[in-house]
Structure 1
Amino acid sequence: MRRAVYAIMIAFGIFILVMPLSVPVFYTSADFSLFNTGWNGASSFGKLLYEEADVIPVITPFNSFGIGERTGTLLILGPDLGYSSAEIEEVKRFLDNGGTLVLIDDFGTGNDILKGLNVTARFSGLQPLDVFYSKNYNFPELVRITDPQLGVGVDKLILNVPSVIVGAEGSIYTSKVAILGNNPRQLPVMSELSYGNGKIILFSDPSVFINDMFDRNEPFIRNFAGYIKSDVVYVDEAHHSNFNPYAMGTVVIRRSFDRMKAFYVILGVAVLAIIVESGLALEGAKRFLNLLLGKILKEEGKSLDEVVEELKKEGYDEKILRKIVKEMKTGKKLGG
């Protein structure tokens, strides 16, 4: 009978290790949101980030969230709501603490932060024209990626109605004949700046990361997710004007079998079996009861027989109690 009990305990412990987890999630139709699974969302990009780091959405203003007290990476993707001076001050503190700001924007409100940080780089807010494109000029193709980590396995990067960066050097460029205004020249699409103890990574086309573009740009997006990773990535959802979660649900996560944890389960049950079968558990219980009886007798001055009668009324076994009393009187070791 006891063997069956131990087997059940082992089976239950292993079941706990491998049982699926249900994690609550919510959905939204906001452009560029990591919670939007539609064509204009960035849920596929979000899944890659979850593989690389702990991802924490920020759905309140930065000063309410206290981003300045934290470290890691702050990802801002396609913002269209303005940033207050208090929020920008929090971003400054975040960078001074060694954090990384990843700001991906084209025609939105990203320049609010750059102005507040007093850096020279800006998103141009204008779409460049390039002779190298996919489908039409709204989808320029880039091949000049100077950072080797970002360029691994990437034949080309397809943009989607992009802006460019002015006032900074870049690590990804348009072709040399791209036009912004009247002058054909290569223009940076991605730049990296040092700021305080941290750094700022700028990318001028959030549409690269939407689900509709994921298949065409997956190698680059994977490289980018690895490039910006840290222990924690904070994702700004508070500055998407239409971020209104419309549904709640759960996602089921299936866990793989962990041999080491299963070994600990079996070991724990084995130790418990040894304690029970050797009588150590009963011995410990008797010692505890012995001490308890001694304390009661000492404090209240009751006889052993009186204590036994009281405990008997509370449901204790009289035979066991009498045996303990006898051993106490004779000085015999419990369990002998």
Structure 2
Amino acid sequence: MVPDLDDLGYPRAVLLALTFVVALAVVVGASTSGAAFGAFNSQWDGASDLRAEAGAVDTGSVLLRDTARYETVNASDAVSVVLSPDRAYSAEESEHIRRFVERGGTLVVAEDVGPGGNELLRAVGASARLDGRPLRDDRYNFRSPALPVANNVTNATNATNATWLKTERLTLNYGTVVRPNGSEVLLRSSEYGYLDENGNDALDDGETIGSYPVVTAESVGEGRVVVVSDSSALINAMLDRPGNQAFVRGLFADFDRVLLDYSHTEDLPPLALAVLVVRESAWLQLLVVGALAGGVDYWARRAETGRDGGLAAVRRRVGVGETTTPAFDDDAARAYLRRMHPEWDEERISRVVHARRRRD
């Protein structure tokens, strides 16, 4: 039964408000994540906006926790994004992804310094590799040489089906470059880019200025592999930087499904994980629906009992039984309610008595 605020004293009201705040905090904490690149992290270093971009182009998104799911999707209508994996894919896991690409799927590997990206590229049969050395550009950048703006676009070819490339630039965030090894270069840095070999944030003797590849694409089987030399280019704080949102939307727009591969990155928040587990199991869905239906029925019965319980004593005191319907003594009922509930006003007492009369 929903409590009447008139019956709540100040301490109870404070306790109720505190309980609500704590419950809300628990729900929010269980449904969000602070992990870098996290799909449920809405902070600057999260990737919640990347998940939202799929909806912006009317494309559904799926969070993959298990690479076996690659075997069940229509590969030709799907693009998978792997952001800076924390650990290496096993041989079996890599095989799931390789078969997805060979069946016509598009795999996007966005990485900069970690070894996981190159290991995955090797496992799926791609030739491109990530260099690992930081790219800087003292002339064409977004507020800092460490955020170079790649503005050299290569015309797409039929070999890699890269007509999706709708942007004229891409802004990196402490990214690296791609060694194409025969793959097609789609985006390059400006002619003023250089690799900071010693990491001193300056152009030194022996560090060559030039235009370096930052995005490549290549055909593998019936599908293709796209390599982006900076996973940070796709985080929340970077999607509104020059060219980045257009890059993502162009990449997603041609597909019916975006697969966000989190099988080797963050631990999903508990509430989000629970929702995903239920979605993947028909039996759990039936169990949850049954539990909700039972809960609603129980609550309704309790509410009905609560409404009846307060007047059951009135019925007994005034001589009205559960199975008999003698005349209802309004004055006796009012007198009883005044004694039992001195805090109630006359209007409320009258409402209770009249409700009992209508019920009888």
Same fold per TM (> 0.5)? yes
Deviation at 1:224, TM superposition (A): 2.4
What is the CA–CA distance in structure 2 between the aligned matches of 1:213 and 1:86, rounded to whole Å?
A: 33
What is the CA–CA distance in structure 1 between the aligned matches of 2:164 and 2:147, rounded to whole Å?
A: 23
2:70 to 54, 59, 67: 67
Comparing 134-143 with 194-203, greater Cα deviation is found at 134-143
Equivalent AA in structure 1 for residue 222 of structure 2:
N
String of CA shifts for 1:13-45, please: whole Å, max 9, x gaps.
Answer: xxxxxxxxxxx9932112112221111011112
Comparing 170-179 with 139-148, greater Cα deviation is found at 139-148
What is the CA–CA distance in structure 2 between the aligned matches of 1:186 and 1:80, rounded to whole Å?
A: 30
Is the CA contact (8 Å cut-off) linking 2:79 and 2:106 kept in structure 1?
yes
Q: Does 1:206 align with 2:213?
A: no
1:29 to 24, 30, 34: 34
Deviation at 1:146, TM superposition (A): 3.0
What is the CA–CA distance in structure 1 between the aligned matches of 2:92 and 2:256, rounded to whole Å?
A: 26
Is the CA contact (8 Å cut-off) linking 2:112 and 2:229 kept in structure 1?
yes
SS in structure 2 at match of 1:207: helix
Q: Does 1:191 align with 2:216?
A: yes
Which aligned pairs between 1:10-25 and structure 2 lie closer than 5 A?
none
Structure-1 residue corresponding to 2:152: 144
Deviation at 1:247, TM superposition (A): 5.5
What is the CA–CA distance in structure 1 between the aligned matches of 2:50 and 2:147, rounded to whole Å?
A: 19
Please provide the CA RMSD for this pair: 2.7
String of CA shifts for 1:180-229, please: whole Å, max 9, x gaps.
Answer: 35333211111111000111111111111111123224x53234223234
Structure-1 residue corresponding to 2:64: 58
What is the CA–CA distance in structure 2 between the aligned matches of 1:157 and 1:99, rounded to whole Å?
A: 24
Is the CA contact (8 Å cut-off) linking 1:68 and 1:92 kept in structure 2?
no
Is the CA contact (8 Å cut-off) linking 2:98 and 2:125 kept in structure 1?
no
Is the CA contact (8 Å cut-off) linking 2:142 and 2:149 kept in structure 1?
yes
Which aligned pairs between 1:86-235 and structure 2 lie closer than 5 A?
86-108=92-114, 109-132=116-139, 133-147=141-155, 150-152=165-167, 154=168, 156-166=169-179, 167=181, 168-180=183-195, 182-217=207-242, 219-229=243-253, 230-235=255-260
Deviation at 1:231, TM superposition (A): 1.1
Deviation at 1:78, TM superposition (A): 2.1
Equivalent AA in structure 1 for residue 236 of structure 2:
N
Structure-2 residue corresponding to 1:43: 48
Deviation at 1:84, TM superposition (A): 0.7
SS in structure 2 at match of 1:170: strand
Q: Which runs of 5+ in 2 are unaligned?
A: 1-27, 156-162, 198-206, 274-360
What is the CA–CA distance in structure 1 between the aligned matches of 2:271 and 2:96, rounded to whole Å?
A: 31
What is the CA–CA distance in structure 2 between the aligned matches of 1:171 and 1:107, rounded to whole Å?
A: 21
Which aligned pairs between 1:301-316 and structure 2 lie closer than 5 A?
none
What is the CA–CA distance in structure 2 between the aligned matches of 1:163 and 1:174, rounded to whole Å?
A: 10
What is the CA–CA distance in structure 2 between the aligned matches of 1:146 and 1:199, rounded to whole Å?
A: 17
| Structure-2 change in CA distance of 1:227 and 1:66 (3 Å) | closer
Structure-2 residue corresponding to 1:243: 267
Is the CA contact (8 Å cut-off) linking 1:29 and 1:243 kept in structure 2?
no
Is the CA contact (8 Å cut-off) linking 1:28 and 1:247 kept in structure 2?
no
Is the CA contact (8 Å cut-off) linking 2:64 and 2:260 kept in structure 1?
yes
SS in structure 2 at match of 1:184: coil
Higher relative contact order (CA 8 A, sep 6+): 1
SS in structure 1 at match of 2:267: coil
Aligned residue pairs total 221
Equivalent AA in structure 2 for residue 68 of structure 1:
E
| Structure-2 change in CA distance of 1:248 and 1:110 (3 Å) | closer
Comparing 32-41 with 125-134, greater Cα deviation is found at 125-134
Is the CA contact (8 Å cut-off) linking 2:234 and 2:244 kept in structure 1?
no
What is the CA–CA distance in structure 1 between the aligned matches of 2:234 and 2:127, rounded to whole Å?
A: 25
What is the CA–CA distance in structure 2 between the aligned matches of 1:117 and 1:151, rounded to whole Å?
A: 26
What is the CA–CA distance in structure 2 between the aligned matches of 1:185 and 1:222, rounded to whole Å?
A: 25
Is the CA contact (8 Å cut-off) linking 2:190 and 2:211 kept in structure 1?
yes
What is the CA–CA distance in structure 1 between the aligned matches of 2:39 and 2:272, rounded to whole Å?
A: 15
